[in-house]
Structure 1
C-alpha cells in the first residue's frame, strides 16, 4: 500500500497497472520468437535467401522483361553481394532479436512486481524500434531495386512487419497507471 499526496491509501500496481503488461510481454515475446526463427532460418537455409537477394540486387527479372523497370536497371548490383548482404541482415536480426527478448524479460519481471515500468517501456521501445528499422531497411532498400515490380508479396510482408512494430510501440507505451483500492 502507498499513500498519495492527499493522504489516500492505494494499492501500488505500477507493475500490472491496467493489466497491459502481460499483453505487452506476449507481443514482445512473440515478435522475439518470430524474428529469432527467421534468423535461424536465414542461417540454416542461407542458399535460398542468397539466391533471392541476388535476384533483387541484380534486378535480373526486370532485365529480362523489356516492359518493366527498365529505367531502374542502372541501380543493379552484382549478385555476388547477396551473401554479404544476407550476413549483414542476419547480424541485424540477431541484435534486434536479443533486444526483443530483453524487453520481454523486462515486462515479465514487471508483471511479477520485480521490475521497473520505465525501464520496461524503454527496452520495449528500443526493441520495437529495431524491428521497425529492419522493416524500413527492407522497404527502402527493396524500393531502390524496384522489388515491388517482381516481388510484390515480399513487399507486403515488410509493410506488415512495419505495422506490427508500430502497433507494438503503441501497446508498449500505453500508460500503466496506479489503481486505487
Structure 2
C-alpha cells in the first residue's frame, strides 16, 4: 500500500467516525430534548452552585431560570449540530463515493466549523454560568472535543504529499 492510499483511508475513517459521532449527538438531543434542556437549564440557572454546600459568588446574579431560554439555548446547539451532520455526511459522500478529497474538504470543514461553533457556545456559556466550579468534568469534556475537532481539521487539510 502506498502512502497516499493509507492517508486516504485514515482521513475516511476520521470523517466517518466524526459524522457518526455528530449524528448520535444530534439524535440524542432530539430524542431527549426535554431532558437535555433541563441539563442546559440547570447550568444556566446555576443550580450546581446552590447545592450543598452552596457557593456564594457574585456570579449567581447571572443565573437564568427561564425554561424558554433554556430550550432556546439547546435549540441553537441542535441547529448547529444539524448543520454539522448534514455537512459531514455530504463530505463523506464526496470523499468516498464522489469527486474525492478536494470536493469533500469544504463540506468537512463546514462540519468542523459548525461543531466548533456549538462547542464554543457550550464552553462560553458554561464559563459565563460558572460551570468550571462544580461541573469541571463537563468543561473538560468540551475542551477535549474542541481539541478533537481542531486535530480533525488538520488531518483533513494538511497536504502530506
* TM category, shorter: 0.7 to 0.9
Q: Which position in structure 2 is the counterpart of 1:87? A: 75
CA displacement at 1:93 relative to structure 2:
0.8
Separation in 1, partners of 2:18, 2:107:
14
Superposed counterparts of 1:1-181, under 5 Å: 17=4, 19-64=6-51, 68=55, 70-80=57-67, 81-109=69-97, 114-175=98-159, 177=161
CA RMSD in angstroms comes to 2.2
Secondary structure at 1:22 match in 2: helix
Q: Which runs of 5+ in 1 are unaligned?
A: 1-12
Secondary structure at 2:70 match in 1: helix
Q: CA, structure 1 residues 159+152, in 2 after alignment: closer, same or farther (shift >3 Å)?
A: same
Q: Which position in structure 2 is the counterpart of 1:10? A: none
Q: Which runs of 5+ in 2 are unaligned?
A: none
Moved more, 161-170 or 146-155: 146-155
Separation in 2, partners of 1:116, 1:27:
15
Separation in 2, partners of 1:117, 1:41:
29
Moved more, 119-128 or 155-164: 119-128
Would you tell me which structure has more helix in proportion to its own residues? Answer: 2
Residues 75-108 of structure 1: per-residue CA shift (max 9 Å, x gap) = 1112412122222211111111111111111211
Separation in 2, partners of 1:69, 1:91:
34
Whether contact under 8 Å (2:80, 2:117) holds in the other structure is no
CA displacement at 1:65 relative to structure 2:
5.5
Separation in 2, partners of 1:119, 1:95:
18
TM-score, normalised relative to structure 2: 0.87
Secondary structure at 1:115 match in 2: coil
The size of the alignment, in residue pairs, is 159
Secondary structure at 2:6 match in 1: coil
Separation in 1, partners of 2:66, 2:16:
35
TM-score, normalised relative to structure 1: 0.78
Residues 113-144 of structure 1: per-residue CA shift (max 9 Å, x gap) = x5143322222222212212221111111101
